[in-house]
Each structure stands twice: as structure tokens, then as C-alpha cells.
Amino acid sequence: MELIQAALPAFLRGTLNTLIYCAISFPIAIVLGILLAAMTTSPYLFLRWPAAGFIEVMRGTPMITQLLLLYYGVGAVLAQINLATWVNAWTAGVTALALNYAAYEAEVFRAGLSGVDSGQREAALSLGMTQQQGFVRVILPQAVQIVIPPLINDFIYMLKDSAIVSVIAGVDLTSVLRVWIIRHSSHPFPLYALALVLYLLMSLPIAAWGRHIEHRLKARMS
């Protein structure tokens, strides 16, 4: 009990940092995901191919590899032009999470867009809207309703995946756990249990909220 009381302040700071990483990364991932989804459904090849290639690379390679490439590879390149300070644990962690999840959110939004009846697009055009106006005002709002539940699930996944920032000395809940395990290796179980409880306290309320939103959307659409 004394060990948990001593570790709790540091673990809470790590929990807060985990939430900050995700609170910054996930909105960026959503915006990029919408852009990528629009590009992949575009009739123009010069938009579809780069978007499809980015998605395949991000989804086909481990996030930890992407993170290390950003932190060490891009950091080394920027060091040559005296911009190495731009790459640190925060910027690399946020960028890696945002870019990786953007690829997954693109697929989520693409599925959402395809779930909107094609007649909605035709109706928007018949009202005098351009393709872009119809997409923003008619198609996208309907697609957002479809994709809200999977977006909430993906945010929960990001909470857990954000632990990878600990490999580049990013301060999050997992990195704090590792430090305290090293200091108190003879009593690791209470520390693991504390980290588990804190991750659950982050994810379970969001999961419950997601189920509530999903039920409301189903009721509205039925």
C-alpha cells in the first residue's frame, strides 16, 4: 500500500500525459483521415494513388518502426540543417500516432461515405450545389453519424497504443511504470496493477459513452 501511495502521483502525471498525447493526435488523425478518404474516392488518379499508397504503408508497417524513423531518421536529417530541436519525444510521438491512425480513420470514413445513399449526392447536385459543396454539406455530415462508434473505439485503441512513446523516452503511463519497476523490481505486482487500473479508468468511461452514442444513433435511424 505504501508503494502505491508513493507511486500514485507519478502515475497520475503519466496518465495525464497519455491523455494529452491522444487528445492532440486523434483530432489530427481524423482531419487527415477525412482528407485521405476524400482522395481515395476521387475520380482523379493523381489523388487516389498517393492516398492509397500512404494508407498501405501506414497500415502495412509497425507503428514502432514509423516512430523510430521519425525520431531518429527525420531527427538526423533535421540536425543537418540545425532544426533537430523540432523532433523530440512529444512531436515524434504525436506525429507517429496521428499519421498511423490517419490511415485507419481514412478507411473508417471511406466506409462511412460509401454507406451514404448515392441519391443524396444527386439530390445535392440537383439543388445547385457543386461537388465540393455537396460533399461538405450533405455527404460528410451523414457519414460522420455512421463512423462515430468506430471512431470512439479507435480512440480507445490509441490510448493503449500510445505506450509506444516510452521507447523514445516519452513520458506516459507506461514509461512511468517502467521507471518504477526498475526502482522497485522486488515488488512489481502492485505497480502493474496500478497501471492496469489507470488504463481501465481511461478507457471504460469512453467505451460506455461510445455504446450510449451508438444506441442513440440506432434509435434515430430506426
pLDDT digits (tens, 9 = 90+) for 56-68: 999 999 999 999 9
Condensed to tens digits (0 to 9), the pLDDT of residues 108-147 reads 988 887 777 777 677 776 777 777 777 777 777 777 778 8
101-138 burial by CB neighbour count: b if 16+ within 10 A, else e? bbbbbbbbbbebbeebeeeebeebeeeebeeeebbeeb
- pLDDT at site 99: 97
The secondary structure element, H or E, covering residue 35 is helix 2-40
- pLDDT at site 140: 75
Percent of the chain residues topping a pLDDT of 90: 55
- pLDDT at site 29: 97
Whether pTM > 0.75 for this model: the answer is yes
- pLDDT at site 213: 83
- pLDDT at site 148: 86
Answer whether 30's CB lies under 8 Å from 105's CB. Answer: yes
For the chain, which ranges sit under pLDDT 70?
84, 120, 125, 218, 220-222
What are the φ and ψ backbone dihedral angles of 91, each rounded to 5 degrees?
-65, -40
Answer whether 62's CB lies under 8 Å from 99's CB. Answer: no
Nearest Cα neighbor of 110 from 184, 57, 29, 39 is 39
